[in-house]
Amino acid sequence: MFDNKFKLGFGLMRLPKLEDGSIDVEQTSKMVDLFIEAGGTYFDTAFVYPGSEEAIRKALVDRYPRESYTLATKLMCNAEINDEASAKKEIETSLERTNAGYFDYYLLHALQRSNYKKYEEYHIWDYVKELKEKGLIKHYGFSFHADSDLLNELLIEHPDVDFVQLQINYADWKNPGVESCRNLEICKAFNKPVIVMEPVKGGILADPIDEVKAIFDKENNGMSYASWALRFVGSQEGIHTILSGMSSVAQMEDNLKVFKDFKTLDEHEMELIGEAQKAFDADQMIPCTGCRYCTKGCPMSIPIPDIFTVENRKKGSPEFRTRREYVNVTVGKGKASDCIQCGQCEAACPQHLPIIELLEKARWMEE
């Protein structure tokens, strides 16, 4: 199924934006050209990525022969899509947006403890088999954000899934809330190809904490911080495609540099990764990846990821600057103190963060 030797996949969640907030299709097209020229074929979007499916139609589908690339998208059951008819209609919308004709890979999106039963309730597992029989999808799988016990259970109940998409990166390798290592081992035991998401943890590992930067800077080998993260994932067995959510031509060029002549990490480099893991474990940074799933159903319109970004950047910054940044991200929106503790954000969070508690702590910036 995954016969391409070029492991990098183009994640389309964080495409470059214009000043008005719309996706920069011209720059995205340049990134697509560079990716395909280097040998890349795997593109990953989703029904719930704002503007992404339309943008990839213009940047890829309208410009390249359909057989020259593979396209993945996803079906999501969440607070907004909360009935069977709406869930099943998603593929119609995705096909209209992309004009792709069919999808090579179709995923049940972001399965976790809070929502996985909805996919059973709405008969989605049977539905994707029907879509496969009709030729609207070639392969189906699921993206996963939960514990290893649930993953094991799902693979036993649904042995015919073609692949699994997992969050894998060195910062989450032993993280009990993510279980990157253990989940990878389970997929290998079931002989399921693994697609990797968040190898750079939403950009956190591309611009890591100072302690981690110091560890890698000692090598003075010209590698970017993101390159260390990508090489770590690519050095693991059982990995078939590594998605990188690139937001600029420069990021694309840096990622391509890693994969054009890919080298697994040697023993010394793995020791440095170990040091970086310890530094992250000792840090108190909020591990938010900025996916924004938490904001979609927030009744108070609180920009949760933006508040957490300000909180994370407070280290070493003057207090007045942190407060000013907080005002900037919350103007015209909800503040941390507006949280009514309904819990929808925590149910939607793929990282399983205690959002209510973290917002409570963030109120100091309003004082």
- Give per-residue pLDDT as tens, 214-271: 999 998 788 999 999 999 999 999 999 999 999 999 999 999 999 988 999 999 999 9
Residue 108 in 3-state DSSP?
strand
Mean residue pLDDT of the chain comes to 93
CA–CA separation, 251 and 308 (whole Å): 24
CA–CA separation, 236 and 139 (whole Å): 23
Given a cut of 90, whether residue 281 has pLDDT beyond it is no
Per the CB < 8 A criterion, the answer to whether 221 and 192 are in contact is no
| Residue 327 neighbours by CB distance under 10 Å | 13
Is residue 101 domain-shared with residue 190, that is, in the same domain? Answer: yes
DSSP code per residue over 117-170: HHHHHTTHHHHHHHHHHHTSEEEEEEEE-S-HHHHHHHHHH-TT--EEEEE--G
DSSP code per residue over 233-285: HHTSTTEEEEEE---SHHHHHHHHHHHHT-----HHHHHHHHHHHHHHHH---
Tokens 């990166």 belong to 169
CB neighbour list of residue 3: distance below 8 Å, 6 or more residues apart: none
Is residue 330 domain-shared with residue 254, that is, in the same domain? Answer: no
Is residue 309 domain-shared with residue 276, that is, in the same domain? Answer: no
Is residue 210 domain-shared with residue 339, that is, in the same domain? Answer: no
The amino acid occupying position 46 is: A
Is residue 205 domain-shared with residue 84, that is, in the same domain? Answer: yes
Is residue 27 domain-shared with residue 116, that is, in the same domain? Answer: yes
pLDDT of residue 235: 96
CA–CA separation, 183 and 12 (whole Å): 24
Write out the two tokens for 253.
């060029």
- Please report whether residue 1 resides in a domain: no
What's the domain range around 316? 304-366
CB neighbour list of residue 172: distance below 8 Å, 6 or more residues apart: 178, 180, 198, 201, 287
CA–CA separation, 127 and 85 (whole Å): 11
Is residue 88 domain-shared with residue 174, that is, in the same domain? Answer: yes
- Please report whether residue 291 resides in a domain: no
- Please report whether residue 105 resides in a domain: yes
Is residue 153 domain-shared with residue 29, that is, in the same domain? Answer: yes
| Residue 320 neighbours by CB distance under 10 Å | 8
CA–CA separation, 209 and 279 (whole Å): 8
pLDDT tens digits, 44-91: 999 999 999 999 999 999 999 999 999 999 999 987 888 999 999 999
- Min mean pLDDT across 17-21, 27-31, 316-320 is at 316-320
Is residue 272 domain-shared with residue 308, that is, in the same domain? Answer: no
Is residue 188 domain-shared with residue 261, that is, in the same domain? Answer: yes
Global confidence as pTM: 0.84
Per the CB < 8 A criterion, the answer to whether 143 and 108 are in contact is yes
DSSP 22: S
pLDDT of residue 313: 72
Is residue 116 domain-shared with residue 251, that is, in the same domain? Answer: yes
Number of domains the chain contains? 2
- Please report whether residue 294 resides in a domain: no
DSSP 38: T
Q: Which helix (H) or strand (E) holds 43?
A: strand 42-44
- Min mean pLDDT across 268-272, 318-322, 358-362 is at 318-322
pLDDT tens digits, 105-150: 999 999 988 889 999 999 999 999 999 999 999 999 999 988 899 9
143: left (phi over 0), alpha (psi -120 to 50) or beta: beta
pLDDT of residue 28: 98
CA–CA separation, 289 and 307 (whole Å): 12
163: left (phi over 0), alpha (psi -120 to 50) or beta: beta
Given a cut of 60, whether residue 8 has pLDDT beyond it is yes
- Please report whether residue 135 resides in a domain: yes
Tokens 């011209």 belong to 26
Is residue 203 domain-shared with residue 254, that is, in the same domain? Answer: yes
Query: How confident is residue 175, by pLDDT bands cut at 50, 70 and 90?
Result: confident
State the chain's maximal CA–CA distance in angstroms: 60
- Please report whether residue 217 resides in a domain: yes
CATH of the domain at 114: 3.20.20.100
